């Protein structure tokens, strides 16, 4: 069978197109690394044991990538990290606090927009992630969890005082205070506090965050310049005295003072306070201090249940701009933060609330 010149040209074009498609597919399936490399990761709080299983999942997909993880104490972490990056001895990937983008953005790389876009970020995570980890154009970090303040209560104390469910609003909490607290009738000393609130950082390690949350919930409007005045949707006197009245001996809701110098976590573990307002991440500390505690966890108290507002504290993973393997680092973070199975596994092992919307 003879082909005309035109038919031969068409056949050649078809063959070229087929070869191009096959080549494109082959390139698309090309692994992110052709030689063995090591990804170094620095973090806080999480032990090697917690992350081991999710590391293994990644290494099954990319057997030529070795993972080396180093855990730091949170108190020393930022200084150690900055010094290491300045000396070109930092990690490929590191944990990045939600408050760091403004001061450490120059040390990290943005994610490839074709891998994770702002639209996809909004679909996968709560809005706080975009607020903290994006500059409006690029995404710089992805979270493994989102921890928020919660109402942590002693179930045994609630049972003993015939309180079936924890309070959901600040007003409900105020009403329950006389039932939950114990006061020495002779000395007026607090034998058991209803809640750890009203004190300074001396007795409540996260006092400033609780106070900030109260301000946020009250929709406090701060002045833009000296000529403007503060505006309060709630009565100003009530708002300004709201926090400290819990530590005022003359108040009907008096339930705390800085005499609890061992701190709110220690006081709770000793069953000397019925409620603390803290992050769920600290549950493991409480259980370690007192394994026999019957602990309940409920949503953080609100002024308005129809408009809940909470305070978040969490870390994300970022790619160092000094990394020699940024593509592999990006693949690792995406595999861990966006994969539902890995995210669920991390949440179960770490005991922290998940970040993905589908798992919340």
Residues 183-224 have pLDDT tens digits of 999 999 999 999 999 999 999 999 999 998 998 898 765 444
> Looking at the domain assignment, is residue 187 inside a domain?
yes
* Cα–Cα distance for residue pair 238/201, rounded to 1 Å: 22
Residue 173 shares a structural domain with residue 215: yes
Q: What phi-psi label fits residue 192: left (phi over 0), alpha (psi between -120 and 50 degrees) or beta?
A: beta
Say if residue 322 is in the same domain as residue 285.
no
Question: Quick one: pLDDT at residue 28?
Answer: 44
Q: Which of 329, 356, 328 is nearest to 143 (CA)?
A: 356
Q: Would residue 134 count as lying in a domain?
A: yes
What does the buried/exposed string (b/e) look like for 40-50 if buried means 16 or more CB atoms within 10 Å of the residue's CB?
bbbbbbbeeeb
Residue 93 CB partners (closer than 8 Å, separation 6+): 39, 40, 41, 42, 317, 318, 319, 320, 323, 329, 332, 333
Q: Looking at residues 293-310, what average pLDDT do you find?
A: 96
Q: In terms of DSSP bridges, do strands 37-44 and 65-72 run parallel, antiparallel, or are they unpaired?
A: parallel
Q: Is residue 27 part of a domain?
A: no
d(CA 161, CA 264): 21
Q: Using an 8 Å Cβ cutoff, are 118 and 139 in contact?
A: yes
Q: Regarding predicted confidence, which is higher, 168 or 236?
A: 168
If pLDDT is split at 50, 70 and 90, which confidence band does 24 have?
A: very low
Question: What pLDDT shows up at residue 57?
Answer: 83
Domain termination residue (choose one: 274, 290, 312): 312
Mean of pLDDT over the chain: 89
Domain co-membership, 250 together with 335: no
Residues 244 and 291 in one domain: yes
Percentage of residues in the chain with pLDDT exceeding 70? Answer: 85
**pLDDT for residue 219:** 78
pLDDT score recorded for residue 56: 85
- How far, CA to CA in Å, does 133 sit from each of 26, 82, 222, 277? 34, 19, 24, 26
1 assigned to some structural domain: no
Give the residue, 13 or 307, on which the prediction is more confident: 307
Mean pLDDT for the stretch of residues 261-273: 97
Q: What is the rounded (10 degree) CA torsion for 184, 188, 191, 193?
A: 130
Out of 87-91, 106-110, 146-150, 229-233, least confident range: 229-233
- If asked whether residues 207 and 264 sit together in one domain, one would say yes
Is residue 345's pLDDT more than 50?
yes
Q: Are 124 and 111 in contact (CB under 8 A)?
A: no
For residue 106, is it within any domain? yes
- Report helix, strand or coil for 314: coil
Assess whether 180 and 296 both reside in one domain: yes
Q: Is the pLDDT of residue 235 over 70?
A: no
DSSP three-state, residue 245? helix
CA–CA dist 225, 40 (Å, integer)? 46
Q: Does residue 2 lie in a domain region?
A: no
Q: Are residues 48 and 121 in the same domain?
A: yes
Report how far Cα 123 is from the mean position of its chain's Cα atoms: 18
**pLDDT score, position 212:** 87
Is 20 within the bounds of a domain? no
Rounded Cα–Cα distance for residues 56 and 317 (Å): 18
- With a cut of 70, say whether residue 228 has pLDDT above it: no
Q: CATH number for the domain including 80?
A: 3.40.190.10
pLDDT value for 351? 87
Indicate if 303 and 329 belong to the same structural domain.
no
Q: Enter the pTM of the model.
A: 0.80
pLDDT of residue 21: 46
Paired tokens of 97 = 């606090």
Rounded to whole angstroms, the Cα distance separating 212 from 311 reads 8
Structural domain count of the chain: 2
Contacts of 352 (CB under 8 A, 6+ apart): 144, 145, 147, 280, 281, 346
Residues 190 and 269 both lie in one domain? yes
Using pLDDT thresholds of 50, 70 and 90, give the confidence band for residue 55. Answer: confident
Residue 125: domain span = 37-146+314-359
pLDDT at res. 205: 95
Residue-level pLDDT at 356: 97
State the pLDDT at residue 337: 96
* 56 part of a folded domain: yes
Pair (73, 211) in one structural domain: no
**pLDDT at 8 (0 to 100):** 55
Judge whether 267 and 196 are in contact, CB under 8 Å.
yes
In a shared domain, residues 330 and 206: no
- The answer to whether residues 212 and 326 belong to one domain is no
Residue 125 or residue 16, greater confidence: 125
């Amino acid at each position: 069978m003879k082909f005309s010149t035109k038919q031969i040209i068409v056949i050649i074009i078809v063959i070229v197109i087929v070869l191009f498609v096959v080549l494109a597919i082959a390139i698309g399936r090309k692994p992110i690394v052709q030689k063995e490399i090591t990804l170094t990761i620095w973090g806080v709080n999480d032990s090697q044991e917690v992350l081991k299983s999710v590391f293994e999942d990644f290494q099954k997909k990319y057997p030529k990538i070795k993972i080396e993880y180093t855990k730091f104490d949170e108190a020393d972490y930022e200084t150690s990290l900055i010094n290491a990056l300045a000396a070109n001895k930092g990690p490929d990937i590191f944990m990045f606090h939600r408050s760091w983008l403004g001061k450490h953005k120059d040390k990290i790389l943005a994610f490839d927009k074709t891998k994770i876009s702002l639209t996809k970020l909004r679909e996968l995570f709560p809005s706080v992630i975009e607020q903290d980890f994006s500059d409006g154009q690029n995404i710089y970090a992805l979270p493994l969890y989102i921890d928020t303040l919660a109402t942590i209560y002693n179930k045994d104390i609630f049972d003993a005082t015939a309180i079936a469910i924890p309070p959901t609003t600040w007003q409900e909490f105020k009403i329950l205070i006389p039932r939950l607290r114990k006061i020495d009738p002779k000395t007026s000393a607090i034998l058991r506090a209803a809640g750890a609130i009203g004190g300074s950082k001396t007795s409540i390690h996260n006092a400033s965050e609780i106070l900030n949350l109260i301000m946020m919930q009250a929709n406090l409007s701060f002045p833009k310049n000296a000529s403007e005045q503060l505006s309060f949707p709630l009565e100003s006197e009530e708002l300004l005295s709201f926090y400290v009245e819990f530590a005022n001996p003359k108040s009907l809701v008096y339930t705390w003072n800085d005499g609890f110098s061992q701190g709110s976590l220690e006081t709770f573990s000793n069953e000397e306070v019925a409620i603390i307002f803290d992050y769920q991440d600290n549950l493991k500390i409480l259980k370690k201090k007192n394994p026999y505690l019957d602990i309940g966890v409920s949503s953080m108290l609100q002024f308005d249940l129809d408009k809940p507002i909470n305070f978040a504290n969490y870390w994300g993973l970022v790619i160092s701009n000094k990394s020699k393997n940024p593509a592999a680092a990006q693949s690792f973070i995406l595999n861990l933060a966006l994969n539902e199975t890995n995210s669920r596994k991390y949440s179960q092992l770490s005991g922290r609330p998940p970040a993905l919307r589908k798992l919340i």
